[in-house]
Amino acid sequence: MTAFTGVDSQNLPDVMVSVQFILAIGENLSLLYSEKDSISIYRIFLKNIAAYHHTNNVDYLFHASAAANVLFDIKNKNYLTPQDQQDLKLFLTQNNHWNLSTIQAFGNSGFILPNNTVFQLINSLIEDIVYLENINFEFYLEAWNTIINNSLILVKTDFKKSKLLLARIKELSYTEPYLSITVKVNFLELLIHYREDGNSEPIKRFLESAKVLGIPNLYNDLLSGWALLKLNS
């Protein structure tokens, strides 16, 4: 990564969008990812995908997908077969409403599912956002993180779909006291504008303003989104 205007490219965090919910599944993928230990991560993937094929237990598929998602970050290769991708989509959509497990699984599979599937699932999650806010606020916040993070992936991989999602997201009302949602939605819009005109100055100013807020996790999330868009571009 070399072209990070206004930010020290040597101090950028790794692209952690794909490991948003890693700690939720009990495997220390976050540490292995930070060490770029693709061999150990691949072993985790193989163990869980084999267990899924043997038992048909969806938890193993969710774990395998998270490992495959991290491997995609490192090696730019998708280890999840088309059939397993289809199974994952079916498991994510088989219930009338999203729950914490399915939200987290989708949050951990944005890189390894086809763009059309990611687009469809984000729209499904958007349709459920009011229900999630009423039923459990933790689910609501996790859903927003997943919507925005996976939309960021589409900014890079399917720009037209990301623009459609942004228009839909901006039609939603969201809980204002939670600054991170507002900031991330605004940043998503800036990244889309950047894809259109190539002007990084608004992003530079936004990142500097976010840094002043004094919320390190939020600032690092924004840097990760910027790194994701700039990688290999």
Evaluate whether 25 touches 8 at the Cβ level (below 8 Å).
no
What pLDDT does 160 receive? 96
Which token pair is 96?
């009338």
In tens, the pLDDT along 169-224 reads 988 876 555 778 888 899 999 999 999 999 999 999 999 888 887 777 788 888 88
Evaluate whether 228 touches 187 at the Cβ level (below 8 Å).
no
pLDDT confidence bin for 67, thresholds 50/70/90: very high
Q: Please state the rounded mean pLDDT for residues 76-100.
A: 93
Q: Please state the rounded mean pLDDT for residues 58-83.
A: 93
> CA 110, 168, 105 angle in degrees (round to 5)?
25
What pLDDT does 187 receive? 93
What pLDDT does 174 receive? 64
pLDDT confidence bin for 35, thresholds 50/70/90: confident
Evaluate whether 66 touches 109 at the Cβ level (below 8 Å).
yes
Q: Is the pLDDT of residue 125 over 90?
A: yes
Give me the chain's average pLDDT, please: 83
User: Which are the contacts of 229, defined by CB distance < 8 A and separation ≥ 6?
Assistant: 152, 155, 156, 191, 194, 195
Evaluate whether 166 touches 192 at the Cβ level (below 8 Å).
yes
pLDDT confidence bin for 95, thresholds 50/70/90: confident
Evaluate whether 132 touches 139 at the Cβ level (below 8 Å).
yes
Q: Which range, 26-35, 152-161, 166-175, 221-230, has the best average confidence (pLDDT)?
A: 152-161
What pLDDT does 229 receive? 74
Q: Is the pLDDT of residue 37 over 60?
A: yes
User: Which residue blocks in the chain are alpha helix, DSSP H?
Assistant: 29-34, 38-55, 58-75, 82-93, 100-107, 115-127, 129-135, 137-157, 159-171, 179-197, 201-212, 216-230
Q: Please state the rounded mean pLDDT for residues 79-101.
A: 93
What pLDDT does 23 receive? 42
Q: Can you tell me whether residue 209 is helix, strand or coil?
A: helix
Residues 157-190 as b/e (b if ≥16 CB within 10 A, e otherwise) read ebeebbbbbbeebeeeeeeeeeebbebbbebbbb
Stated pTM of the model: 0.84
